[in-house]
Chain A
């Protein structure tokens, strides 16, 4: 049953096959994307994610734009923009801006690093299922690329009333937009393939117990156990 999968859009059952590199499997019925050929070069994904994190730090540490009106300069960072809203009592909107541009992208990057580093080393990450779920949750709420467009719109708006000097962070944001797009295009469901292959100490102990039970004449439990049964992981046997 593990090489069967259901289309997330129309629930049609498919048999998962091995795809040639850079190819996409589509649903025969509704034509939406089922899965892409897994890129299992984890160190490459890890390197990209780390680069993202560094650029992210630069983008947040330096001012995005500086404006000058009659000799008076003001500048703002990303957090500064959220803070300005907060000071005005718009804490809800401030929270929204902070969450979509800092909190969610950052937690997504950190969660990816948390997952991929041990997996690249052949170990199972801590709390792997919770972290996978957290990444899925964060994904639609990270809006760095929308923010980038917002910066450009405000630049034009401001240029009517002041002289605008783009800051270091503006270029960092530009780079970050492209890097994040590359990192996030990685199909996370492929990680399950790696996770399934990576032994979990708890599951290994369970399987050793099962092997003992089988040796004593009891039947080995198939991987397709009914849900709710007390099997905790996929185990290596399910591949």
Chain B
């Protein structure tokens, strides 16, 4: 065997300090002798939890895109902005780079995250041996870009605080922002619950060799 996993060797790595301990099966929870954290061979109920959070996020993704994020009341009348209308506003006013930034952060990234995490969950659940390197990289990308979706929440917060000139214009936060903020938090929690080691648990050494060659 070329690669020996800690699990196969009967060892558990502490998720806080990384220290390896021998796996023992006891009724009470085993704890890390160095830092006292509860030891788990793999994240507990990883796939079930990821799925639950993921489905919740997918449901909220709809109101996040349909409901207004921001409502403007001014002398010129009332208007409400969804995420997409904000992007269109930037695009039509010639701010192409900003339109792309907002579109990427608020629409593309959450959607790609939902798709990528579902893909990772399905493949981990079925125990596929398909492209483990690429799937690990995908997981790292999901973890890295997740936070950037908060962009629109911050923009709305700043606009609401700044544009509050009673006689001229008032900007209020719309109900869409609650849904959108929840989507970001839920997808971040979902990616934290996923255990990337599940990708590798099914891989035999000869598979890895093959994967290295292509």
Chain A: residues with CB nearer than 8 A to chain B?
1-2, 4-6, 8-13, 28-32, 64-65, 67, 69-70, 72, 74-76, 80-85, 88, 90, 92-94, 96-97, 100-101, 129, 132-133, 136, 140-141, 143, 146-147, 149-151, 153-154, 156-158, 160-162, 189, 192, 196, 224-229, 231-234
Contacts and interface: CB of A to CB of B under 8 A. Distances in A.
B59 interface: no
B39 to A, nearest CB: 6
Interface of B: 3-7, 9, 11-13, 16-22, 24, 26, 28, 30-37, 39, 90, 93, 95, 98, 101-102, 105, 132-133, 136, 139-140, 143, 146-148, 150-165, 168-169, 172-173, 177-178, 181, 185, 188, 192, 196-197, 199-201, 203, 208
A233 B90 CA distance: 57
A32 B6 contact: no
Given A29-B208, A96-B185, A227-B24, 6 more contacts: A6-B11, A13-B9, A143-B154, A149-B105, A158-B162, A233-B34
Nearest to B189: A140
B17 A132 contact: yes
The 4 closest A-B pairs by CB, nearest first: A150-B154, A10-B200, A84-B161, A6-B6
B98 A140 contact: no
A153 B102 contact: yes
B167 to A, nearest CB: 8
A151 B161 contact: no
B62 to A, nearest CB: 18
6 contacts: A5-B13, A65-B158, A84-B160, A129-B16, A146-B154, A228-B31
A85 B150 contact: no
A88 B192 CA distance: 31
A71 B106 CA distance: 34
A37 B203 CA distance: 29
B20 A1 contact: yes
B35 A132 contact: yes
Contacts of A94: 157
Given A10-B5, A129-B36, A228-B31, A31 B165 contact: no
A234 B33 contact: yes
A98 B150 CA distance: 12
A49 B195 CA distance: 31
Contacts of B5: 6, 10-13
Nearest to A154: B158
Given A12-B5, A82-B157, A158-B159, A149 B192 contact: no
Contacts of B208: 29
A221 to B, nearest CB: 11
Contacts of B197: 8-11
Contact of A229 (B6, B33, B162, B185): B33
B200 A80 contact: no
A84 B158 CA distance: 9
Contacts of A64: 158
Contacts of B36: 129, 232
